[in-house]
Amino acid sequence: MTPTKFPTEQILIASILATIAFLLIYMVYVSIKKSRAVLVNGVRDKSDNFLVVWTLLASLLLHILFSYYIVGHKTDIGCFTSWGNKIFRNGFQNFYNPQTNFPDYPPGYMYVLGLMARIADLFGHGVYAADGSYDIFYVTMIKLPSIIADIGSAYLVYRLARKKLRFEAAYLLMCLAAFCPVFIYVSGGWGQIDQILSILLVISIILLNSNKPILAGFVYGLSILLKPQALMAGPLLAIAYFCYIFDPDFFSPTDRKCADGVGTRIMKTVAAVACACALLIVSVIPFADDTMPWYSIILQKYMGTATSYKYASVNAYNIYTLFGKNWTPITEKAILGLTYGQLGTVLMVLSVGFGGVLYFFGRKKHSGALSLATAFTFASLFTLGHYMHERYLFPVLLLLLVAYISYGDRRLISMFMCWSATTLVNCIAAFYYSKLHEYHLYWDERLVFWCSLANVILFVIFCGICTDIMLRGRVKADVFADDDVSAKAQKTVPARKAEK
């Protein structure tokens, strides 16, 4: 059967219009010449809070309207609505029985789906409407946790920025998050939960940087419980905990020597790991039965899910799709006698290793190193690793905003804008083919090739930016800094002991 023609023009028009609207906010942001400056202490105007609340409510309304306009990804919404209804109607046991059900998500999000199904039922709504189509209210309830995560992420950006920037800059950064087209599309339209993963990763990083390792471990465990992709940050967080144990002087953002001894810090690290593991096990136990004990569920959902799509790329616009290897089996030969699976494994190990190097040296210069190194790790795994899906670059966007607040480097905002655009195009394209039951994106189409090329080029640029910031300690101040602040920022980033 001849595949349907790739809708290049339609997708480009939709993406360009969304990006233009998004850029209007950024243009206003840039036009405020002195918006980024040292925080001035003083009495805050109550209208600031009023504006923030109404802006977030406007974003919430836009998400909900978008949810009504786009029912969602056919496969994902079908699974989410069905799983939520089964949890609500039948309970937890036998849910993972392979003879009756085939959920490929871990148990954490099943609790959320069951709760949303329960709330929808209270209002008299089920999975399907009278005409046999999906009930829009029910679908919106299924999407609501992701929508709330979008709003929460925007507010978190505002709160973090407000500690360092004037209200105007913090507010406009919040707007960039609240009205980011790809955020709205994935959470409000597609119905996926990537923003929940993103905000949990950011919170765990914030807690770890605040010398709260046990709580950070708990939140990270929660992110793993909800989405296996959280494991992509595991090796880097392990390095961060290692630094917490053996080098606390450079770990604390306040640069005050940690009062705890090495033994206490080891115990806290063990407790953090124990919290994450305990959370996972306790959450899985209600789903266990004679056919699927709790440990089998864990192994199947985390080992099986990671390798369930054995292809070089699964609709991800990365280096493999660039060379026409989207949906190519990982057993095929690539280069130097290596299969795509072996090549991807080597590149993933190198990616994680270099991310660890960036953090290890960058942490001595600035407290924002962990968020930026995590962004690099996700970006490198997406670009160079196998098994990648179209949305695996998504967490990088929120991490970039958080890193920008820490460093004030204008290049990070530029990367956020560019990757927001390419990720939006990637997601719209994958979504379009899901509606036509054609899941393979064909590499020789213009949009797929050029967007894949753009992602690879952006990654190369990002490598240089991260190296410049974290290894060389050089920051390019943003265009809205005061003249004296800008001059200082062009110099090497001061060591953390000078950041008081």
Between CA 22 and CA 430 the distance in angstroms is: 21
Q: Are residues 131 and 273 in the same domain?
A: yes
The answer to whether position 376 is within a domain reads yes
Give the least confident one: 74-78, 238-242, 296-300, 379-383: 296-300
Q: Are residues 319 and 294 in the same domain?
A: no
The answer to whether position 36 is within a domain reads no
Q: Which pLDDT belongs to residue 302?
A: 80
Of the residues 245, 280, 308, the one at which a domain ends: 308
Residue 46, pLDDT above cutoff 70: no
Share of the chain above pLDDT 70, in %: 80
Mean pLDDT (the chain, rounded): 85
The answer to whether position 37 is within a domain reads no
Q: Which pLDDT belongs to residue 22?
A: 66
What phi-psi label fits residue 257: left (phi over 0), alpha (psi between -120 and 50 degrees) or beta?
Answer: beta
Of the residues 258, 274, 308, the one at which a domain ends: 308
Q: Are residues 20 and 163 in the same domain?
A: no
- Contact (Cβ atoms closer than 8 angstroms) between residue 492 and residue 486: no
Residue 484, pLDDT above cutoff 50: no
- Contact (Cβ atoms closer than 8 angstroms) between residue 312 and residue 432: no
* 187-196 average pLDDT score: 96
pLDDT classification of 482: cutoffs 50, 70, 90? very low
* 203-209 average pLDDT score: 96
What is the number of structural domains in the chain? Answer: 2
If one compares 50 and 187, the residue with the highest pLDDT of the two is 187
Residue 279, pLDDT above cutoff 60: yes
The answer to whether position 24 is within a domain reads yes
Work out the angle between the directed axes of helices 8-31 and 167-178 (0-180°, nearest 10): 170
Q: Are residues 265 and 194 in the same domain?
A: yes
The answer to whether position 235 is within a domain reads yes
Q: Which pLDDT belongs to residue 105?
A: 87
pLDDT classification of 429: cutoffs 50, 70, 90? confident
* 477-491 average pLDDT score: 45
Q: Which pLDDT belongs to residue 49?
A: 86
pLDDT classification of 308: cutoffs 50, 70, 90? confident
Q: Are residues 324 and 300 in the same domain?
A: no
Between CA 62 and CA 140 the distance in angstroms is: 12
Q: Are residues 373 and 256 in the same domain?
A: no
Q: Are residues 373 and 271 in the same domain?
A: no
The answer to whether position 219 is within a domain reads yes
Residue 252, pLDDT above cutoff 70: no
* 215-226 average pLDDT score: 96
Share of the chain above pLDDT 90, in %: 59
Q: Which pLDDT belongs to residue 395?
A: 98
Name the residue range of residue 5's domain. 1-31+311-500
Q: Are residues 379 and 360 in the same domain?
A: yes
Of the residues 308, 331, 363, the one at which a domain ends: 308
* 283-309 average pLDDT score: 80
SS3 per residue for the chain: CCCCCCCHHHHHHHHHHHHHHHHHHHHHHHHCCCCECCCCCCCCCHHHHHHHHHHHHHHHHHHHHHHHHCCCCHHHHHHHHHHHHHHHHHCCCCCCCCCCCCCCCCHHHHHHHHHHHHHHHHCCCCCECCCCCECHHHHHHHHHHHHHHHHHHHHHHHHHHHCCCCHHHHHHHHHHHHCCHHHHHHHHHHCCCHHHHHHHHHHHHHHHHCCCHHHHHHHHHHHHHHCHHHHHHHHHHHHHHHHHHHCHHHCCCCCCCCCCCHHHHHHHHHHHHHHHHHHHHHHHHHHCCCCCCHHHHHHHHHHHHHCCCCECEEECCCHHHHCCCECCECCCECCCCCEHHHHHHHHHHHHHHHHHHHHHHHCCCCCCHHHHHHHHHHHHHHHHCCCEECCCCHHHHHHHHHHHHHHCEHHHHHHHHHHHHHHHHHHHHHHHHHHCCCCCCCCCCHHHHHHHHHHHHHHHHHHHHHHHHHHCCECCECCCECHHHHHHHCCECCCHHHCC
* 31-59 average pLDDT score: 65
Q: Are residues 221 and 362 in the same domain?
A: no
The answer to whether position 151 is within a domain reads yes
The alpha carbon dihedral of 415, 420, 425, 430 has a sign of positive
Between CA 164 and CA 40 the distance in angstroms is: 9
Between CA 92 and CA 106 the distance in angstroms is: 12
Count Cβ neighbours within 10 Å for each residue of 347-376 and write b for 16 or more, e otherwise: bbeebbebbbebbbebbbbbbbbbbbbbbb
Residue pLDDT, tens place only, 87-143: 999 888 888 877 767 788 888 999 999 999 999 999 989 888 877 788 999 999 999
pLDDT classification of 5: cutoffs 50, 70, 90? low
Q: Are residues 237 and 270 in the same domain?
A: yes
Q: Which pLDDT belongs to residue 143?
A: 97
Q: Which pLDDT belongs to residue 8?
A: 63
- Contact (Cβ atoms closer than 8 angstroms) between residue 139 and residue 191: yes
Q: Are residues 228 and 373 in the same domain?
A: no
In terms of average pLDDT, the best of 3-17, 25-39, 353-367 is 353-367
Q: Are residues 113 and 228 in the same domain?
A: yes
If one compares 297 and 375, the residue with the highest pLDDT of the two is 375
The answer to whether position 39 is within a domain reads no
